[in-house]
Amino acid sequence: FRELIEILAISRNQKLPQPGEEGQILELLIQRDGEFQELMKLAVDQGKIHHEMQLLEKVVEKRDNDIQQLQKQLKEAEHILATAVYQAKEKLKSIEKARKG
């Protein structure tokens, strides 16, 4: 757009405008406007994609937290089961000693 404005300023400073020059400038403006509209559409699309990515990142973060909680619960259950197995083995040893004794 800056180039087009410079061209317009130069053409206004000339005493006699060149034939067809204004039409060329208008066509160039229309072309640049089309390019600008395409870029704006692309920017909007990228904005939507960015927003979707942020939503997905929040879902992933929640799932990660859920997994961490489950891992913590599994470790606690493992510890409880290990303790129960140890105590059961000790009772079996006691029962065997009592039978032999």
pLDDT digits 0-9 by tens, 36-94: 999 999 999 999 999 999 999 999 999 999 999 999 999 999 999 999 999 999 999 99
Asked if residue 6 belongs to a domain, the reply is no
Evaluate if residue 19 carries a pLDDT over 80: no
pTM: 0.57
Asked if residue 24 belongs to a domain, the reply is yes
Asked if residue 45 belongs to a domain, the reply is yes
Asked if residue 78 belongs to a domain, the reply is yes
DSSP-derived 3-state class of residue 99: helix
Q: Are 11 and 21 in contact (CB under 8 A)?
A: yes
User: Which residues constitute the domain of residue 47?
Assistant: 20-100
Q: Where are the alpha helices (DSSP H) in the chain?
A: 2-13, 21-100
Asked if residue 5 belongs to a domain, the reply is no
Query: Around Cβ 25, how many Cβ atoms within 10 Å?
Result: 15
